[in-house]
Amino acid sequence: MVKFPSHTAESHERVAPRRSNRSLYGFTLVELLVVIAVIGLLVSFILPALGSTRGLAHQIHCASNLKQLGIALRNHETMQGFFPPGYTSQSTVDPPPATRDADTWDAPPGWGWSSYLLAYLDAEHLASAISFDQPIWAAEHRDVVNQTLPYFLCPAAESVNPTFSVLDADANPLSIEGNPVEVGRSHYVASHGQESCWGECGASSTGTVFTDIYTSATTEIAIEGDASRVADGPFYRNSRTRVRDVQDGLSRTIFLGEHASDLSDKTWAGVIPGAYTHPRFSSPENGPDAAATLTLVHAGPSGGELDITGEPIIHSINFPTYHVGQMYSVHAGGGNVCLGDGSVRFVSDDVNLLVWAEWSSMAEGEAGKDLE
């Protein structure tokens, strides 16, 4: 007969009370609250870090998109001999097209700078579906211009519909030749320079431009529908900017930048006569602006306008007047711009205003200090 070791019974005696103690042992309410507090504290430390990491990732993604657009610009210039037009418009043909806007002289076809880059952006299928001599709003383009393209969208910008209806002055859907126009969104805009020539300027016979941003000197010029007489940046109505036109240097001239849809709608398609861009939020100084701001922005100073103290008005990226015709980003502390050489820089909200203006014109010999 097998005898079990006597320690079995003893161990029961020894162990049983311990088990009994353990069963009584648990978390007190205070301990639980302390643990919850510690976890809460850790989460409060981690969440902002995660948020800023996500923000940084979005900023890098945004910059990467802009870099692709910059390369496409250079490829366009190499192949065509000039950078794409800000947008195309039969503004000064005689007789003018029936759909030419009487107030701005914006006219068909309207294709914007981004649409001319499609062939250089792995989107040949869309480029080949476009008849660039026909209007954006032609029936054949209805299922083209409402396409969404990933490199035109910055993930940091507000997640709104990837397409939007082009609006009129009263913020109602614009109807042109009896049809509304639905276009694909873009979070990137091109620089018209310091000066702007859209809205009434586009149809004016004369206008005022700055000749010296340091002394606020201005002069009167004849415009007569030719935006090139006003624009001092690389993209404007019917622009065909060549490398040699960028006398300040490709690496010292802002070509492209961001405009998050949190402020207003922009499109890669182009400019529709009679359209307006409306701000999504209002400041005392922002409001609807003309159709050209669907694809273009400017830096100021412009049109001889001065502030209340007599200084030229310059609006750098995220300038707190929040015009729909300025660059705007939702990244913390600034936004990305693409220079003429295709390089991308992150520029601070607090960038020196004069430096911003200097880097926005392309041939005025002003770009002295570095853009930061």
Partner 1 sequence: MAGRFFAILLAVSLCLGCGGYPEISPTAYQYAKALYSVANRERSEKLDAVSHQIYESQREGKITEREAEWLRRIIDDARRGEWQTAQQVARQMMDDQVR
For partner 1, give the closer residue by CB, 20 or 321. Answer: 321
Please list, in sequence order, all residues whose beta carbon lies within 8 angstroms of the beta carbon of residue 211, skipping any fewer than 6 positions away. 217, 218, 219
| Joined tokens for residue 149 | 């393209």
Distance CA 3, CA 87 (A): 101
- Provide, rounded to whole angstroms, the least separation between the CB of residue 48 and partner 1: 14
Residue 309 touches partner 1, criterion: CB under 8 A:
yes
- The smaller minimum CB distance to partner 1, of residues 237 and 323, is found at 323
Size of residue set near partner 1 by CB under 8 A = 19
What is the secondary structure of 302-357 as a DSSP string? -TT-B-TTSPBP---TT-TT--TTS-B--STTEEEEEETTS-EEEEETT--HHHHH
Q: Which is nearer to partner 1, 99 or 352 (CB)?
A: 352
- What is the spatial distance between Cα 7 and Cα 272, in angstroms, rounded to a whole number? 95
Nearer residue to partner 1 within complex by CB, 123 or 355: 355
Three-state secondary-structure class, residue 100 = coil
Stretch that binds partner 1, among 32-40, 185-193, 268-276, 304-312 (CB under 8 A): 304-312
Q: Show contacts with partner 1 in window 103-142 (CB under 8 A).
A: none
Minimum CB distance to partner 1, residue 257 (Å): 18
Q: Strand 206-212 and strand 217-222: pairing?
A: antiparallel
Q: Could you tell me the smallest distance in angstroms from the CB atom of residue 371 to partner 1?
A: 14
Helix (H/G/I), strand (E/B), else coil: 280: coil
For the segment 53-82, give every residue that binds partner 1 (CB under 8 A).
Answer: none
Q: Which amino acid is at 202?
A: G
238-297 residues in contact with partner 1 (CB under 8 A) are: 281-285
User: How many CB atoms are closer than 10 A to CB 128?
Assistant: 11
Which 8-state DSSP code applies to residue 370? P
Least separation in angstroms between CB 330 and partner 1? 14
Min dist CB 353 to partner 1, Å, is: 5
Using CB under 8 A as the binding rule, the residues of this chain from 312 to 371 that contact partner 1 are 313-314, 320-322, 349-350, 352-354
Residue 354 Cβ vs partner 1, minimum distance, rounded to whole Å: 6
The residues of the shown chain that bind partner 1, judged by CB under 8 A, are 281-285, 307-309, 311, 313-314, 320-322, 349-350, 352-354
